[in-house]
Amino acid sequence: MITRREFVATSATAAAGLAIGPSGAAAAPSPTSPVSRFARPCVVASSNGIRGVKVAYDQIVAGTDTLDAIIAGVNITELDPDDQSVGLGGLPNEEGVVQLDASCMHGPTKRAGAVGCIEDIATPSLVAKAVMDYTDHIMLVGDDARRFAISMGFTPQNLLTEKSRQDWLRWKARLNPNDFWLDHDDDVQIRFTTGTINMNAVNATGDISSVTTTSGMAWKVPGRVGDSPIVGAGQYCDNTVGAAGSTGRGESNIMTCGGFLCVEFMRQGLGPEQAVLKALERVVATTQARLMGSNGRPFVDLQFYAVSKDGRYAGGSLYEGPGFAVCDERGARIEPCVYLYRQNERPRRG
């Protein structure tokens, strides 16, 4: 067991962008899976995790626990004020408040933690891990998650950067031409993001972990919780099979339990590439008619990322285009996702 004081020191070190120590509390020492004949370390993530996969991979080959390593990987982007998809600088909800979701799973010890709709804490991935390490629960939400984080030593801060605040004001002004807000900067494109980094890793002994962190959909209804903190949707990990997670429209993923489904397809014998494609087919099959174009293709997009226990990996997307980040013995790189549909098949609304 490490003490709470030690955990706080660990979190502070991670928040400074430095390597974090071994997995805390109930994680020490973790039962390790028998050495797989085929195990090869590999970290796979959404493309915005490209810096993180390298950090995570280097830590894993140096012996760091897989979950600690991938959380260190996503912390880089969570703490980057210029990234508007997760953590500090994430795009806010419709009231201008940044609300974050995250979850994680530690395969060797069969544990999970999550936080939903947490405010003021830049690294919800670490708070999710604190829920896992220090409570007998899996998910905490809202103000109580914030208070839990503060009690664990996390420092609250304003997560709405000036750039994201300006984007929110522009979005608000352009919502309705008949309101009393004057539109300005008409030439500035307002970003919309479904945010999110998912990162999954396996080490040389076949131990596996997964983490997903997000600021969620930009301009969401306050209190909205997406797929990222939902264990089995935003990410899922089974130390005997592999791990998978998602980015994109969370509501579509929740309807398919996508992280779990990818892992279940791998359990049935599919490789990661076939698994993510089959899960995407399920997403289409469960999409409501109002979200489908007349050509039978969804308006929305969604991605899955998966790694198997033997170190195979894949990224898959409904629509052609996004790449995914991977790091293994060949180094960190972006590879193209497999996909169901070409971009020119994507219907436009209205």
- Residues with a known catalytic role: 196
Residue type at 118?
A: I
Residue type at 11?
A: S
Residue type at 130?
A: A
Cβ proximity to ligand GLY: between 66 and 246 the closer is: 246
Cβ proximity to ligand GLY: between 64 and 214 the closer is: 214
3-state SS, residue 19 = coil
3-state SS, residue 96 = coil
Exposed, middle or buried: residue 188 (CB in 10 Å: 0-12, 13-18, 19+)? Answer: exposed
Cβ proximity to ligand GLY: between 196 and 274 the closer is: 196
Does 123 interact with ligand GLY (rule: CB under 6 A)?
A: no
> Which two three-digit tokens encode residue 347?
């219907």
Find the shortest distance in angstroms from Cβ 6 to ligand GLY.
Answer: 32
Does 228 interact with ligand GLY (rule: CB under 6 A)?
A: yes
- Residue 280 gets which letter from DSSP? H
Within residues 169-208, the interface with ligand GLY by CB under 6 A covers: 194-196
Q: Which of 58, 227, 301, 328 binds ligand GLY (CB under 6 A)?
A: 227
Does 245 interact with ligand GLY (rule: CB under 6 A)?
A: no
Cβ proximity to ligand GLY: between 76 and 217 the closer is: 217
Q: How far apart are CA 26 and CA 62, in angstroms?
A: 22
Find the shortest distance in angstroms from Cβ 195 to ligand GLY.
Answer: 5
Regarding beta strands 111-118 and 100-106, do their DSSP bridges make them parallel or antiparallel, or are they unpaired?
antiparallel
Cβ proximity to ligand GLY: between 112 and 230 the closer is: 230
Residues contacting ligand GLY: total by CB under 6 A: 13
- Give the CA count within 13 Å in the CB-facing half-sphere of 130: 29
Find the shortest distance in angstroms from Cβ 129 to ligand GLY.
Answer: 19
Instruction: Give which of 193, 188, 219 is closest to 96, Cα–Cα.
Output: 219
Find the shortest distance in angstroms from Cβ 194 to ligand GLY.
Answer: 5
Does 250 interact with ligand GLY (rule: CB under 6 A)?
A: yes
* The dihedral sign for the CA sequence 149, 155, 156, 157: negative
Does 216 interact with ligand GLY (rule: CB under 6 A)?
A: yes
Does 298 interact with ligand GLY (rule: CB under 6 A)?
A: no
Q: How far apart are CA 251 and CA 291, in angstroms?
A: 11
> Which two three-digit tokens encode residue 19?
């390597």
Find the shortest distance in angstroms from Cβ 131 to ligand GLY.
Answer: 18
> Which two three-digit tokens encode residue 305?
């990322």
175 Cβ neighbours under 8 A, 6+ residues apart? 181
Q: Which of 42, 217, 243, 277 binds ligand GLY (CB under 6 A)?
A: 217
Find the shortest distance in angstroms from Cβ 48 to ligand GLY.
Answer: 12
- N-terminal to C-terminal alpha carbon distance within the chain: 57
Cβ proximity to ligand GLY: between 142 and 153 the closer is: 142
Q: Which of 52, 92, 113, 248 binds ligand GLY (CB under 6 A)?
A: 248
Does 83 interact with ligand GLY (rule: CB under 6 A)?
A: no
Q: Residue numbers of the site for ligand GLY (CB under 6 A)?
A: 194-196, 214, 216-217, 226-228, 247-250
